[in-house]
């Protein structure tokens, strides 16, 4: 009995000692640079946004934040790298439909999408669109569907999340479309412009330069609303096709980060999204700035999972259990 009492007392002392140590560690943070993992190539919408956010966070955290592009596995490599990082507050990364819903549904991943991360918050909603090269005989979505009924039509994109609308469009119409995966969104667009694939589905930041240069014909917005830059181009839903790609994204830590550190980053990111100079920069990319706190964003992703899983299963995108 005396030995047990002594052990309990020793344990209490150690526990009490560890608390100040943890506080001391969090008070010294950040003592080195913070890495922000982006799963897409340099120049992509999420990359450009990450660089805006990194700069804004640096001012608020009084530390260096660098963006690291970890590209591969249709978006899976970035999420896997983040989930396996040390939970020391020095590695954060993108949390999106791809990392939490579509990629885990479509392939085996080395992380648990809901338990493997501490979500910080949502910062934006991507706008997607469908385009073809200017030299293409396809002038409209109706032409794209008609062509897909005559032959196998190829289209490019870099992430499984992006292509949901194309899978839905094929299912609704009976057209035959084949997804060609590229390492980055800009590459997918350039391959379409070059005639190596028939069409492309990507975001504003990747498509707009080629649209404005007259090299890419913008057929339809693939999200819930028209693009502000091209208000005359209708959505797929407005054209009569119940198809849509949604693209919220934000940031997360690997699970287990010191709550004191995470609390600081939560507050810093929320403050970034109150800053009009930050949100205006994001909006100029053709991306909608949207703020949701960590719990609200996790709940939002969960609601999308409920809506999206039946579609992924019906279209054959979900892996067999």
Q: What is the CATH number of the domain that holds 276?
A: 3.40.190.150
User: What pLDDT, on the 0 to 100 scale, is given for residue 1?
Assistant: 46
User: What pLDDT, on the 0 to 100 scale, is given for residue 308?
Assistant: 79
Q: Say if residue 172 is in the same domain as residue 215.
A: yes
Q: Considering 204, 221, 238, which residue would you say is the last residue of a domain?
A: 221
User: What pLDDT, on the 0 to 100 scale, is given for residue 26?
Assistant: 65
User: What pLDDT, on the 0 to 100 scale, is given for residue 24?
Assistant: 45
Q: Say if residue 113 is in the same domain as residue 261.
A: yes
- Count other C-beta atoms under 10 Å from residue 78's C-beta: 25
Q: Say if residue 116 is in the same domain as residue 14.
A: yes
Low-confidence residues in the chain, pLDDT < 50: 1, 3-7, 9-10, 12-13, 15, 17-24
Q: Considering 185, 204, 221, which residue would you say is the last residue of a domain?
A: 221
- Pair 147, 198: CB distance under 8 Å: yes
In a domain, 291, yes or no: yes
How do residues 101-140 score in pLDDT, each as one tens digit?
988 988 889 899 999 999 999 999 999 999 999 999 999 9
Q: Say if residue 116 is in the same domain as residue 260.
A: yes
Strands 34-38, 177-181: pairing is: unpaired
What is the count of structural domains for the chain?
2
User: What pLDDT, on the 0 to 100 scale, is given for residue 321?
Assistant: 60
Give the domain extent around 171: 128-221
Q: Say if residue 195 is in the same domain as residue 111.
A: no
Share of the chain above pLDDT 90, in %: 73
* Rounded Cα distance, 209 and 205, in Å: 7
Q: Say if residue 33 is in the same domain as residue 118.
A: yes
Q: Say if residue 284 is in the same domain as residue 215.
A: no
- Pair 210, 136: CB distance under 8 Å: no
Q: Say if residue 119 is in the same domain as residue 265.
A: yes
User: What pLDDT, on the 0 to 100 scale, is given for residue 4?
Assistant: 46
Q: Say if residue 101 is in the same domain as residue 134.
A: no
CATH number at residue 135: 3.40.190.10
């Amino acid at each position: 009995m005396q030995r047990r009492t002594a052990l309990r007392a020793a344990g209490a002392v150690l526990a009490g000692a560890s608390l100040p140590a943890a506080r001391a560690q969090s008070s010294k943070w950040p003592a080195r640079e913070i890495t922000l993992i982006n799963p897409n190539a340099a120049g992509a919408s999420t990359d450009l946004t990450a660089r805006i956010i990194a700069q804004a966070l640096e001012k608020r955290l009084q530390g260096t934040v660098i963006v690291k592009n970890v590209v591969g596995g249709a978006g899976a490599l970035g999420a896997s790298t983040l989930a396996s990082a040390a939970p020391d507050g020095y590695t954060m990364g993108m949390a999106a439909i791809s990392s939490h819903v579509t990629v885990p549904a479509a392939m085996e991943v080395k992380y648990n999408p809901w338990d493997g991360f501490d979500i910080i918050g949502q910062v934006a909603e991507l706008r997607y669109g469908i385009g073809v090269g200017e030299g293409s005989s396809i002038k409209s979505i109706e032409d794209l569907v008609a062509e897909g009924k005559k032959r196998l039509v190829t289209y490019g994109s870099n992430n499984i999340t992006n292509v949901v609308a194309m899978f839905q469009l094929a299912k609704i119409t009976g057209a035959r479309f084949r997804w060609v995966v590229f390492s980055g969104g800009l590459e997918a667009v350039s391959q379409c412009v070059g005639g190596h694939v028939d069409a492309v589905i990507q975001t504003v930041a990747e498509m707009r330069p080629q649209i404005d240069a007259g090299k890419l014909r913008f057929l339809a917005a693939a999200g819930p609303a028209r693009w502000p830059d091209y208000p005359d181009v209708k959505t797929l839903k407005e054209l009569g096709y119940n198809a849509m790609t949604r693209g919220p994204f934000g940031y997360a830590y690997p699970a287990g980060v010191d709550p004191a550190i995470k609390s600081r980053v939560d507050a810093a990111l929320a403050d970034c999204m109150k800053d009009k100079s930050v949100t205006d920069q994001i909006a100029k990319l053709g991306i909608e700035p949207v703020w949701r706190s960590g719990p609200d964003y996790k709940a939002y992703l969960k609601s999308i999972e409920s809506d999206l899983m039946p579609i992924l299963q019906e279209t054959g995108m979900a892996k067999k259990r």
